[in-house]
Homo-oligomer: A and B are copies of this chain.
Amino acid sequence: MTTTERPLRADAQRNLERIIASARSLFAEQGAQAQMEDIAAHAGVGIGTLYRRFPTKESLMTALVRERFQEFAVIAEEVERTTDPADALPTVMRRHAEAVEHDAAFQLAMMNLESFHWQGIEEDKKVLRATIARIIARGKKAGTVRANLRVDDYGILMCSTTAAMYFITDKSGWRRQQEIILAGLRPE
């Protein structure tokens, strides 16, 4: 999994991007039962090409999650650099949530991944996880984060916010949700 792949042929690369974009839009529209055939067609490629890149439907969903995770890592590092340690944790959580606020496909994928843990996305998690761990530690030191919070809690807490985005009809109902969680994160 430490795959340092060499670049794809130009057309293949374009196809890959189209596939991902199509997957994102069809999953968002139709939910998890959007069909592989339809995604391929929407991307303008044969079904075989889709399977060449993503050997299973689940691997395609995972790819959607993975892309966002990489974005999450960038966001987390930026927040760590630029935000007061006392506010950093709530800030990342909000920024991460906002990053996927309109990505129904991601929200869906998070809930449908057969065994997600936030462990699932092995490599991508590492950097992100390390950054989050530091942010949490500093928050504790600053006295704004409850002592018994663990890094592993982060994933599920975020997961529950994305679920809220997907389920709550009210446009930005997830914010009230997250506000509750953020309040709970503070020391007693």
- Residues of chain A having any CB pair with chain B under 8 Å: 31, 33, 111-112, 114-117, 146, 148-150, 152-153, 155-157, 159-160, 163-164, 167-170, 173, 176-177, 179-186, 188
Contact = CB atoms under 8 A, between A and B. Distances in A.
Given A156-B163, A160-B159, A167-B156, A185 B180 contact: yes
Contacts of A184: 179-185
Copies per complex of this chain: 2
Contacts of A157: 160, 177, 180
B180 A149 contact: yes
B180 A152 contact: no
B156 A164 contact: yes
Contacts of A153: 176-177, 180
A168 B180 contact: no
